[in-house]
Amino acid sequence: MSKTLDKFLNDNLQELKEQGLYNEVDPVEGPNGATIQIRGKELINLSSNNYLGLSTNDTLKEVAKKTIDKYGVGAGAVRSINGTLDLHVELEELLAEFKGTEAAISYQSGFNCNMAAISAVMDKNDAILSDQLNHASIIDGCRLSKAKIIAYKHSDMEDLRAKAKEATESGQYNKVMVITDGVFSMDGDIAKLPEIVEIAKEFDLITYVDDAHGSGVTGKGKGTVKHFGLEKEVDMQMGTLSKAVGVVGGYVAGKQNLIDWLRVRSRPFLFSTAVTPGDVAAIKEALRMIMASTELHDKLWENGDYLKKGLKELGFDIGDSETPITPCIIGEEKLTQQFSKRLYEEGVYAKSIVFPTVPKGTGRVRNMPTAAHTKEMLDDALAVYEKVGKELGVIQ
């Protein structure tokens, strides 16, 4: 190895460890469900994005197995050559119905969606108004586009309006986009979409909502845009197929001409092999289940409200979450990691989240109850939280 590279890596790894910013990866031994096994230890799992418990659903597993027998394990090519199977077309038709749009396009991951769609529409002659707490994939997608990135204060509509006015009236940009998460994954709050759409109409902004943590969760499962009844007002709806839907991949939904453009100009669609047939079939089945019944959605919210109430009563700072996402904000990074480690030792897996995922000094343990958790599991988790919280002086 190059001496320069070796020194760079060792110095920086050591610095991260000293600051409590080094992230240990814990391989899960078996399915990622309401409970998981790590290093032979069974734990109540509060760190998964498997909101509806569908990643281990027996019906989805059977559908995937049958599809593999018929189609094989891989799509065989990129979408633009001959990797588009009839399954992909059927999925995209179903996604458009799910999101209430004219059309949709699917990608290999949610991260890929933001790489694909933002840079296909925006370029160096444009500007993007981006919420300060937007997900890393949004930030990277904006950077890839080479557009001017103008951050506005988190969910601050006065700041957004002032910056939209300044950008559009400057005459410097051909197009201006406003982009926001629908649900902010580290705090659980919901974007102020009605106000954002109002400002966008006033200044002719392109509207882009990343609903990775809203699809299947808000709007009775249809997402945050549906929650506010804005399907016809938002230009670009993005979401993942790996969280509430339980499989893998992502999508962008919108008008037909937008989707036609993304098919010929978004690079992950053109240059990355398509999602595997078994996964596509499982996604379709999951979407049908979400569209047919709100049972899992309702159970998720019931469990989320129960855990949130319990943690708040114990005295934890859970921020201003409006969704089942429930942060316990600890603050200092080393204490946050120590807190998470003690939870693990007591049988609860709730991962510490520190800088750069969240700002320095706002370390937290992010809890994600799912539809698959039982009340007994949540009660056990709360008892552990009380014990560890008092032990480390986080609560009285």
Give the Cα separation of 175 and 162 in Å (integer).
Answer: 17
Query: Which of 88, 99, 148, 213 is flagged as catalytic?
Result: 213
State residue 3's pLDDT score: 95
The overall average pLDDT reported for the chain is 96
For the cut 80, the answer to whether the pLDDT of residue 258 exceeds it is yes
Beta-carbon contacts of residue 121 (< 8 Å; ≥ 6 apart)? 145, 175, 177, 206, 236, 258, 261
State residue 147's pLDDT score: 98
Regarding whether 313 and 288 lie in a shared domain, the answer is no
Regarding whether 310 and 248 lie in a shared domain, the answer is no
* % of residues, the chain, pLDDT over 90: 92
State residue 104's pLDDT score: 98
State residue 292's pLDDT score: 96
Regarding whether 23 and 109 lie in a shared domain, the answer is no
Confidence of residue 288 (pLDDT cuts 50, 70, 90): very high
Of 207, 212, 177, whose CA–CA distance to 193 is shortest? Answer: 207
Q: What is the residue-wise DSSP string for 234-290?
A: -SEEEEESSSTT-SS-EEEEE-HHHHHHHHHH-HHHHHSBPPPHHHHHHHHHHHHHH
SS3 call for 159: helix
CATH of the domain at 25: 3.90.1150.10
Structural domain span for residue 91: 58-292
State residue 19's pLDDT score: 84
State residue 31's pLDDT score: 95
CA distances to 80, 252, 352 from 283, rounded to whole Å, are 21, 15, 30
157-207 confidence digits (pLDDT tens):
999 999 999 999 999 999 999 999 999 988 899 999 999 999 999 999 999
Confidence of residue 355 (pLDDT cuts 50, 70, 90): confident
Query: Which of 185, 215, 242, 352 is flagged as catalytic?
Result: 185
- Answer yes or no: 352 catalytic: no
SS3 call for 95: helix
The total number of structural domains in the chain stands at 2
Give the Cα separation of 13 and 367 in Å (integer).
Answer: 27
Q: What is the mean pLDDT of residues 270-282?
A: 96
Q: What is the mean pLDDT of residues 270-293?
A: 97
Q: What angle do CA 239, 242, 245 make, to 5 degrees?
A: 80
Q: How far apart are the first and last CA of the chain?
A: 51
State residue 186's pLDDT score: 86
Q: Which of 263, 292, 321 is the last residue of a domain?
A: 292
Regarding whether 353 and 288 lie in a shared domain, the answer is no
Query: Which of 148, 226, 243, 308 is flagged as catalytic?
Result: 243
Compute the residue count for the chain.
396
Regarding whether 79 and 154 lie in a shared domain, the answer is yes
299-346 confidence digits (pLDDT tens):
999 999 999 999 999 999 999 999 999 999 999 989 999 999 999 999
> Quick check: bond before 268 cis, omega within 30?
no
Regarding whether 202 and 168 lie in a shared domain, the answer is yes
Confidence of residue 118 (pLDDT cuts 50, 70, 90): very high
CATH of the domain at 150: 3.40.640.10
Flag whether 350 is in a domain: yes
Regarding whether 284 and 157 lie in a shared domain, the answer is yes
Confidence of residue 275 (pLDDT cuts 50, 70, 90): very high
* % of residues, the chain, pLDDT over 70: 100
Give the Cα separation of 99 and 196 in Å (integer).
Answer: 19
The one-letter amino acid at 308: K
- Answer yes or no: 213 catalytic: yes
**Main-chain dihedrals φ then ψ at residue 332, nearest 5 degrees:** -65, 135
200-253 confidence digits (pLDDT tens):
999 999 999 999 999 999 999 999 999 999 999 999 999 999 999 999 999 999
For tokens 């109850």, the residue is 369
Helix axes 256-265, 110-121, angle to 10 degrees: 100
- Answer yes or no: 17 catalytic: no
